[in-house]
Amino acid sequence: MININLNDLLEDAKKTLEGNWNGKFTIPSATLYPHQWSWDTAFISIGNSYINTERAIKDLEFLFNAQWKNGMIPHIVFNDKEKTYFPAADFYDISRSPNAPKTIGTSGMTQPPMHAISSYYIHKNSQNKKESFEFLNWIFPKLINFHRYLMTQRDPEKSGLVTIFHPWESGLDDSPTWDDALARIKIQHLITFKRLDVIAVEGAKDTIPTDDMYNKFIYLIELMKQYNYDENEMYKSFPFKIKAIVFSSILYVANKYLIKIANILEEKNNINEINQWIYRTEQHFFKYFFPLDNQRRIGQTEEALFYNYDLVSKNWVTKKTISSFIPLYTGLIPKKDDIDKMVKWIQTAHWCGDDKFHTLAIPSTDTAEQYFKEKRYWRGPIWINANWFIYLGLKKYGYIEFANQIREGIFELVANHGFREYYDPFTGEGLGGKSFSWTAALVIDMIKNKKMEIDID
């Protein structure tokens, strides 16, 4: 292993989180993301669970106080004083929905439900179990309402898998996974707007989503507004509807954590319902996301990949992205053979198994595909949260050496290139936002939770 002082790294990570605390919540990164983001907050709380329980709780409390009446946790809670991010609260105009909070500015969409997972980490790592028990008691019904929203409004099929209406709901914004679905959408009227991320990031031209993509993102929000954010109506005719792997994988794991929380609270009323959610996901995960049987039929056996499922085109989205590997985190893959194939594939020159790569951390798309761009956001660079899921999944399945190599790769990136939003897989150059919170938070977890005391079942 290269020589990295983990104590120094830990101290720098702590400072990064401290620096992003604005008195009410922790922002992802100054200037670029000055508001509160939902799944960022959950990752941040995981990091803080080891070093500052009170802070971890405060962050989740702030977010869950903005919960919508139908249970949705919005993907952004806005700070009205901040003017450096577009689209802001006025653009979302959530007053169109009877479910939206009246006095808090939020976005009108959601993000992956990491929060039951972080709530459990908070209690497990807390030195003050009375305080963390009270917190669990407070958040548990809210988590149930959020998961129920996802399992009903976002899953009328009762598949146990979540439908997203916007790429931003996936968390993997401009991933090539969404290209075909977005290409089908023709912009009818787009208001003029000014992108602010182009000002906030150095080298923005090559590292953030293209204007074409961004216009589609904004247009989809305009469409959501036309539907008054009514999921029932959107389900009938919205042009972007995808069963999302990363989202659904996280929800499956989060449901298991809800059971753990219910056990701590000795709360029996919701257990059956949660178990039904878990069962539904187990029944449908492969059918929706794993077209291997089809591939076998047509003789393509070299990959064992999971793919997102497009409900509009009724087809798999066969773009090779890091999403395909996140199901490792669920522990849902029963056949060792499928996992072996997947791991072998990750270790080829397509992903990280070649001298041309800076570390063994995994890029966000297959580097042999024409859509791979080493510096552009979710289209190629290394992201720490996506690698963290795979690191945990690999450990779970016993691929300890490879998991540890990924962890070391992450430590190297962070120690030598800063706590950045994402990294160039060839040079290690840090890109996007600086002093990025979830990078720091998950590094804290990977230093402190080395023994994997917190496992996923």
Site string for ligand 2M8, 9-28 (x = CB under 6 A): -------------------x
Q: Say if residues 215 and 190 touch (Cβ distance below 8 Å).
A: yes
Q: Is 310 a catalytic residue?
A: no
CB of 227 to ligand 2M8, least distance (A): 19
Regarding 40 and contact with ligand 2M8 (CB under 6 A), the answer is yes
Instruction: Give, as ranges, the residues between 380 and 439 that touch ligand 2M8 (CB under 6 A).
Output: none
Residue 389 has φ and ψ, to the nearest 5°, of: -60, -45
**3-state DSSP call for residue 29?**
strand
Residue 74 has φ and ψ, to the nearest 5°, of: -65, 155
Nearer to ligand 2M8, 208 or 304 (CB): 208
Regarding 173 and contact with ligand 2M8 (CB under 6 A), the answer is yes
| From 47, 105, 160, 171, residue interacting with ligand 2M8 (rule: CB under 6 A) | 171
Q: Say if residues 53 and 132 touch (Cβ distance below 8 Å).
A: yes
Among 11-19, 49-57, 167-175, 253-261, the segment contacting ligand 2M8 (CB under 6 A): 167-175
How many binding residues for ligand 2M8 (CB under 6 A)? 9
Regarding 33 and contact with ligand 2M8 (CB under 6 A), the answer is yes
Nearer to ligand 2M8, 136 or 221 (CB): 221
**115-125 vs 38-51: helix crossing angle, rounded to 10:** 10
Nearer to ligand 2M8, 171 or 176 (CB): 171
Closest CA to 305 of 287, 322, 290: 290
Catalytic residue among 421, 424, 429, 445: 421
Q: Say if residues 29 and 21 touch (Cβ distance below 8 Å).
A: no
Closest CA to 384 of 46, 134, 103, 27: 46
Q: Is 179 a catalytic residue?
A: no
363, two tokens: 């890029």
Nearer to ligand 2M8, 75 or 358 (CB): 75
| From 39, 247, 257, 351, residue interacting with ligand 2M8 (rule: CB under 6 A) | 39
| From 68, 120, 168, 345, residue interacting with ligand 2M8 (rule: CB under 6 A) | 168
Torsion of CA 126, 127, 133, 135, to 10 degrees: -60
76, two tokens: 């952004």
Closest CA to 443 of 5, 3, 2, 14: 14
Residue 310, H or E segment:
strand 309-310
Regarding 37 and contact with ligand 2M8 (CB under 6 A), the answer is yes
Nearer to ligand 2M8, 196 or 265 (CB): 196
| 382 strand-pairing partners | 363, 423
Nearer to ligand 2M8, 71 or 432 (CB): 432
C-beta neighbour count of 216 within 10 angstroms = 25
Residues forming the active site = 173, 421
Residues that bind ligand 2M8 (CB under 6 A): 28, 33, 37, 39-40, 75, 168, 171, 173
